[in-house]
Chains A and B, each alone.
Chain A
Amino acid sequence: MLAYILRRIFQSLIVLLAVGFVAFAMFSFVGDPVDNMLGQERTQADIERLREQLGLDQPFIVQYWRFLEQAAQGNFGLSYRQGRPVSEIIAERLPATVELALVSGFLAFIGGVGLGVFTAIRRHGLLPSFIMTASLVGVSLPTFLIGILLIYIFSVELGWLPSFGRGEVVDLGGWTTGFLTASGLKALILPAITLGLYQMTLIMRLVRTEMLEVLRMDYIRFARARGLTEKTINFRHALKNTLVPVITITGLQLGSIIAFAIITETVFQWPGVGLLFINAVQFVDIPVMAAYLMMISVMFVGINLIVDVLYFAIDPRLRIERSVGGH
């Protein structure tokens, strides 16, 4: 098992190096930062000084290494637009995105597994058919449309929930949370649903397919032949086997939830890193873009790794075979 995890970590590092290269390349190929940072009135001396300060006079490979070194420490330089350290800006914005992603991921998982199991057990009937049809709509509607629709119904027409922003937040030593105030929680609802709906329908359809597959297995027939109750068969025997593959996919979905957050955050003017990134793109704020890219890939790779380990924890077959093969 240790060998396996080490191998996975090595693979992850390769991925991060590649992404790091793309992020770094943006600096060199997308305009000249010196142009952006200095105003119209500049002297050649100013330019030289800034180039030296930014390390732009060094050879390519040295610059790349230095970039990686800095990036590993979370240092992406100054934002072209705000003139503040990028790490500081991201740290401010991150809690909003993480809270939004966690809540919608949680909703998506609970809702997806619940509805998936329900539609798998009750294969016939009006309600399951309705849910299946509705889920098709959920998969095909674009996120921004769902967001706008929800805003129209619950903010404009009914006036129940806010249409933008995070509401009041409480600062817990550098981490701002919306969980502790009523307005913060209310503000979370619509964006979380918007962001989680797509994932929920995906998870639901996956759980349903997987569960139907599992219910056809011999060990389910054998469980029936042993006279176990339907409840035991569905929730003890079938669900556990269903969740093994579902957990992998769901874990990976958390990564895409954070990536997808760009759209939701834009629609709801949610002050997270997604909105930060969109604004950065508008202003060609390369350090912010690069930092965002690196952060997202670290997150993806990290989640991947965690999911692999979780997989081990759940499935005894892997646990044994790997640990035997490992030493």
Chain B
Amino acid sequence: MVQPVLSIKSLVVEIPTRKGVLRPVDQVSYDIFPGEILGIVGESGAGKSMTGNAVIGLLERPARIVSGNVLLSGNPIHNLSASEFRKIRGKKIGMIFQDPLTSLNPLLTVGEQLVETIIEHLAVSKKEAQERAIAALEEVGIPAARERIGSYPHEFSGGMRQRVVIALALCAEPDFVIADEPTTALDVSVQAQIIALLKRLCRERGVGVMLVTHDMGVIAEAADRVAVMYAGRLAELGAVRDVLTAPKHPYTYGLMGSTPLASRGLKRLKQIPGSMPRLGALPEGCAFSPRCDFAQEVCKTGSSPFIADEDAQAACWFPLQHTKLRSSK
């Protein structure tokens, strides 16, 4: 069996505040395999970015990992020292940020930023690094890369800048990349191009990708599997085709405004009523219960429902059963 490039096991991130301890990431587990794109979806504030930051060791104080494991190609990385972690960043794990307009240093040319990254991680001469930088730009589809290498970020369009960001994240050849809302800040017309580029690089290089987004369209387009997050927890995990066509968790179902159940005359869930509770005021039991149409007494009491992992794919007492619903039609 192929070893996952990234393996998160029961990860918990806490933020101590004056009003108590918050858990923006609570018992999250999943694997990402080489050449695979795992989509992470959920409303804003669900803990998607926090998970990514925890994985790459860039949690901002006072947030910190309190339990769980993060394994990179089988090796634990959540307990590395700051200087050990720095050497991994860029080299083993790359990261792509949301806004290409602010991700690049305005006072350094794209070439300077690429070369400094390459030299930091790979034992190559400056000249060799320069050649690799040009190759990296060519690979992400920057035309006339050799001439553009001396250009400053503001001389590129938004879409081109995001390509530069991707080149920077991949130039030291990491095995795993976190892309945190890589298309959210872009024009709709270039979003598809960037997604296609990510997909291509992922396949060609066998890189594992954690694709964070709140856009189901992006997931449908790019991801192989999808993890749905709600209030810091994993609600559902599964192959994109399964989750999109037959969501098991009522939250996933609502999130997509999808229609498989509508044919059964059930209330159409275009928009989920209410909003995600604040971390400081989570309800007992299932965090989704106040908004859930299927909630029963058991959902609101006692221990929280099952944690979604590879075995139990939806964290729900009453997962939606599409096959039964369909067959009884």
- A and B held together in a complex: yes
Which 9 residue pairs of A and B lie closest in terms of their CB atoms, listed nearest first? A227-B90, A227-B89, A225-B95, A218-B102, A226-B90, A219-B105, A316-B152, A222-B103, A226-B117
Q: Which chain B residues border A230 with CB–CB below 8 Å?
A: 86
A226-B168, A315-B106 known; 8 new pairs, CB 8 Å cut-off, are A218-B97, A222-B168, A225-B56, A225-B58, A226-B95, A228-B116, A241-B106, A316-B154
What are 12 sample pairs from A and B whose C-beta atoms fall under 8 A apart?
A: A219-B106, A224-B58, A225-B58, A226-B90, A226-B94, A227-B87, A227-B120, A237-B108, A240-B107, A314-B107, A315-B107, A320-B152
Contact A219 B89 (CB under 8 A): no
CB-contacts of A238-258 with B (<8 A): 240-241, 244
Write the chain A residue with the least CB distance to B114: A226
Contacts of B91 in A (CB 8 A): 227
Q: Which residue of B lies closest to A229 (CB)?
A: B86
Question: A219 and B102: CB pair below 8 A?
Answer: yes
Residues of B within 8 A of A241 (CB): 105-107
Residue A323, interface by CB 8 Å: no
B95's contact among A219, A222, A232, by CB below 8 Å, is which? A222
User: Closest residue of chain A to B154, judged by CB?
Assistant: A317
A238 to B, closest residue via Cβ:
B105
Chain A 135-178 interface 0/1 with B at a Cβ cutoff of 8 Å (1 = within): 00000000000000000000000000000000000000000000
B106 touches A237 (CB 8 A): no
Interfacial residues of chain A within 188-226, with CB under 8 A of chain B in the complex: 217-219, 221-226
- Contact between B152 and A224, CB atoms less than 8 A apart: no
**Chain A interface size range:** 20 to 34
Q: Is B97 touching A222 in the complex (CB atoms < 8 A)?
A: yes
Does chain A have a CB within 8 A of B269?
A: no
- A225, B90: Cβ atoms closer than 8 Å: yes
Give Cα A221 to B90, complex, Å.
12
A172 to chain B: closest CB distance in Å? 39
Chain A's nearest CB lies how many Å from the CB of B211? Answer: 16
Q: Is B137 close to A, CB under 8 A? A: no
Q: Which residue of B lies closest to A226 (CB)?
A: B90
Q: Chain A: residues with CB nearer than 8 A to chain B? A: 217-219, 221-230, 232, 236-237, 240-241, 244, 314-317, 320
Q: Please measure, in the bound complex, the distance between the C-alpha atom of A221 and the C-alpha atom of B97, giving whole angstroms.
A: 9
Query: Which of these, A221, A240, A244, A320, contacts B58 with CB under 8 Å?
Result: A221
Decide: A218 and B103 in contact? CB cutoff 8 A. yes
Residues on A with C-beta less than 8 A from B152 are 316-317, 320
Chain B residues with CB below 8 A from A316, complex form = 106-107, 152, 154
Interface residues of B in 124-178 (CB under 8 A from A): 152, 154-155, 165, 168-169, 172
A residues less than 8 Å from B155 (CB atoms): 320
B179-211 toward A: CB 8 Å interface, digit per residue (1/0)?
A: 000000000000000000000000000000000
| A217 contacts across to B, CB distance below 8 A | 102
Report A248 CB to chain B, min CB distance, Å: 15
- Size range of the interface on B? 20 to 34
Is B121 an interface residue when CB atoms closer than 8 A count as contact? yes
Question: From A237, which residue of chain B is reached at the shortest CB distance?
Answer: B105
B92 vs chain A, min Cβ distance (A): 9
Closest Cβ of chain A: how far from B61's Cβ, in Å? 11
Contact of A320 (CB < 8 Å), options: B107, B108, B154, B165: B154
B89: nearest chain-A partner, CB-CB: A227
Interface presence of B255 (CB below 8 A): no
Contact at A222–B165, with CB atoms within 8 Å? yes
Check B99 for interface membership: any CB of A closer than 8 A: yes
Instruction: Tell me, rounded to whole Å, the shortest Cβ–Cβ distance linking B260 to chain A.
Output: 39
Mostly, the A contact residues are helix
Q: Is the CB of A222 within 8 A of B56?
A: no
**In the assembly, what is the distance between CA of A230 and CA of B120, in Å?**
12
Q: Digitize B55-90: 1 where CB-to-A-CB distance is under 8 Å, 0 elsewhere.
A: 010100000000000000000000000000011111
Q: Does B229 have its Cβ within 8 Å of any Cβ on chain A?
A: no
CA–CA, A227 and B117, complex, Å: 7
Of A222, A225, A229, A316, chain B has the most CB atoms within 10 Å of the CB of: A225
- Asked if B104 is an interface residue, CB under 8 A from chain A, the answer is yes
Give which listed residue, B56, B94, B107, B117, contacts A228 with CB less than 8 A: B117
Residues from chain B with Cβ under 8 Å of A224 in the complex: 58, 86, 89
Complex: chain A residue closest to B60, CB-CB: A221
Contacts of B107 in A (CB 8 A): 240-241, 244, 314-316
A219 touches B169 (CB 8 A): no
B116→A232 contact, CB < 8 A: yes
> Closest Cβ of chain A: how far from B58's Cβ, in Å?
6
Are the C-beta atoms of B120 and A229 separated by less than 8 Å? yes
Contact of A225 among B87, B94, B120 (CB under 8 A): B94
**Min C-beta distance of A244 to chain B, whole Å:** 8
Question: Separation in Å of the B176 CB from the closest CB of chain A?
Answer: 12
Q: Report the separation of the CA atoms of residues A218 and B104 in the bound assembly, to the nearest whole angstrom.
A: 8
Residue on A nearest B87 in the bound complex, by CB? A227
Query: How distant is the Cα of A229 from the Cα of B85 in the complex, in angstroms?
Result: 11
Residue of B nearest to A317 (CB): B154
B154 touches A228 (CB 8 A): no
* Docked pose: A218 CA to B105 CA in angstroms: 9
**A225: B residues at CB distance < 8 A:** 56, 58, 89-90, 94-95, 97, 169
Tell me the bound Cα distance from A221 to B165 in angstroms: 13
Q: Is the CB of A227 within 8 A of B172?
A: yes
Residues of B with C-beta under 8 A to A240: 107-108
Specify which chain B residues have a CB less than 8 angstroms from the CB of A223 in the assembled complex. Answer: 105
Q: Are the CB atoms of B169 and A226 closer together than 8 Å?
A: yes
What residues of A have a CB within 8 angstroms of the CB of B121 in the complex? 227
Question: B105 to chain A: which residues have CB within 8 Å?
Answer: 219, 223, 237, 241
Chain A residues closer than 8 Å to B104, beta-carbon distance: 219, 222
Query: Which chain A residue has the least Cβ–Cβ distance from B121?
Result: A227
Residues on B with C-beta less than 8 A from A320 are 152, 154-155
Question: Known: A227-B91, A317-B154. Contact between A236 and B116, CB under 8 A?
Answer: yes
Q: List the A side residues contacting B94 at CB < 8 Å.
A: 225-226
Residues of A within 8 A of B56 (CB): 225
User: What is the CA–CA distance of A301 and B6 in the complex, to the nearest angstrom?
Assistant: 60
Give the interface centre of B56, B91, B105, B154 by most chain A CB atoms within 10 Å.
B105
